[in-house]
Structure 1
């Protein structure tokens, strides 16, 4: 079901619900591209067809935002590639490297006060160096590249956790 119904005020927003409006995320993406959208939001990329459709939409110049359940940014890249059969993975690496702008991973953690949660955020930016690692299948080198890429806005989860700890927002045990 649609979790949030967007009310049109300043922009035209089209929402599709799986089952009642469309049979799959992939078919919804194909239909959405015919409407010439500026931005496409995919609730979750769960299968090969949806991931392929999202990459194709990005290749045609659309800003595609999507969710994927992973633990960190490099795992997100790996999951997007690994869903494809081995004989297609190199082509997907090339396509993904050409369109990837950023991956943001988050974990919600309890605060040190016990009241509420705080997001620990990891940010991967699709720099030429990161895109080369993706193209070459060297995703195990993404985390070290992120550690060196602060000037590009990258941040590892560990760095964010350290900052949250230093500011006493989370405890050491978190």
Structure 2
């Protein structure tokens, strides 16, 4: 497989609304559509030499060196219709590709079927916003939609630090500079430090990975910046626990105060099957927490588990629980009556 065939395959994937393509030796290319895998037999089975040729054509010498040394590589790749996130790795001593196809431009929050409650976050001019969920739950798309809303509505200097870059933004009212870890900057931490010297209004971090990046993100928020970041977690309370729990016991009081003072809010999302007219789509069930004074106090005093009592009342500013999220999707005709009943019943099990 050469680069031209690879580009053609991705273009077909875009036509068929494919989210992911998997290339594995001795199997047909595999497409993921609406969370289901299909072998795409329009192309022949992938051979070992096909992927070796492809690697030689699309990677730089430096990237080839990293792949040979680490046996794995994440990078962004510009195709004919937009951008892709590619992970190349080895399995059974053969190369394999996992390709995430990214929309050409970020979708609006409404187009992602996200709750209007997120708009409450935009009243704040500094602080940390965390978008969390499991892998492939749409975190990156949500952050991109939030950045795009700033871009459309505010004259901000926005700097993103990503690993790798996924969505490509076009400057509107704002100016946006996108930096890729490994290509444009050494690490997330170095990227944040630089952004503080680059007159940024908004800093976007691809992921909160370690104590250093978390603390730098909180300090950036404290010094007057809006910071958006993603985190792998199972829920809002789990996210806050995870952020604080990464630090040693002797620093927890300090970090709790820092989080309490600077956390604008947390958005947790997970996908379920929904509809858009006759078409089956994935829709996000969300929990949204805007940090009010009561929640601030609970974080500061380490009573994180008690935050659930605030999430139970969706009427408050910036607060949405899963039950209300499901109702919103149903009212917006994004769930059928059967899907609505199924989702509500699944909540009652817990």
The two structures have a TM-score, normalised by structure 2, of: 0.47
Question: Do 1:104 and 1:124's aligned partners in 2 also have CA atoms closer than 8 Å?
Answer: yes
Q: From the superposition, tell whether residues 12 and 161 of structure 1 become closer, same or farther in structure 2 (CA, over 3 Å).
A: same
Partner of 1:36: 199
Question: Do 2:313 and 2:320's aligned partners in 1 also have CA atoms closer than 8 Å?
Answer: no
Say if 2:235 is the partner of 1:61: no
Question: Do 1:111 and 1:171's aligned partners in 2 also have CA atoms closer than 8 Å?
Answer: no
SS of residue matched to 1:150: coil
Distance 1:40 1:128 in 2: 25
Q: What does 1:8-157 correspond to in 2, within 5 Å?
A: 8-111=171-274, 115-148=280-313, 150-157=315-322
Distance 1:89 1:162 in 2: 38
Question: Do 1:72 and 1:157's aligned partners in 2 also have CA atoms closer than 8 Å?
Answer: no
**Runs (4+) of structure 1 moved beyond 6 Å?**
none
Structure 2, unmatched stretches of 5+, are 1-163, 344-350
Question: Do 1:165 and 1:172's aligned partners in 2 also have CA atoms closer than 8 Å?
Answer: no
Q: Alpha carbon RMSD of aligned pairs, Å? A: 1.9
Distance 2:297 2:220 in 1: 21
1:111 to partner: Cα distance: 1.3
Question: Do 2:237 and 2:304's aligned partners in 1 also have CA atoms closer than 8 Å?
Answer: yes
Question: Do 2:313 and 2:321's aligned partners in 1 also have CA atoms closer than 8 Å?
Answer: no
1:18 to partner: Cα distance: 0.6
Q: From the superposition, tell whether residues 55 and 171 of structure 1 become closer, same or farther in structure 2 (CA, over 3 Å).
A: same
- List per-residue Cα deviations over 1:61-106 (Å, max 9, x = no partner): 1011111111211111111111111111111000010011111111
Distance 1:5 1:62 in 2: 22
Larger strand percent: 2
Distance 1:161 1:117 in 2: 13
Distance 1:162 1:72 in 2: 19
1:52 to partner: Cα distance: 0.6
Distance 1:138 1:86 in 2: 15
1:130 to partner: Cα distance: 0.3
Distance 1:13 1:154 in 2: 29
Name the stretch that deviates more: 82-91 or 112-121. Answer: 112-121
SS of residue matched to 1:65: strand
Distance 1:63 1:88 in 2: 24
Structure 1, unmatched stretches of 5+, are none
The two structures have a TM-score, normalised by structure 1, of: 0.91
Question: Do 1:39 and 1:63's aligned partners in 2 also have CA atoms closer than 8 Å?
Answer: yes
Name the stretch that deviates more: 108-117 or 93-102. Answer: 108-117
SS of residue matched to 1:116: strand
Distance 1:152 1:10 in 2: 27
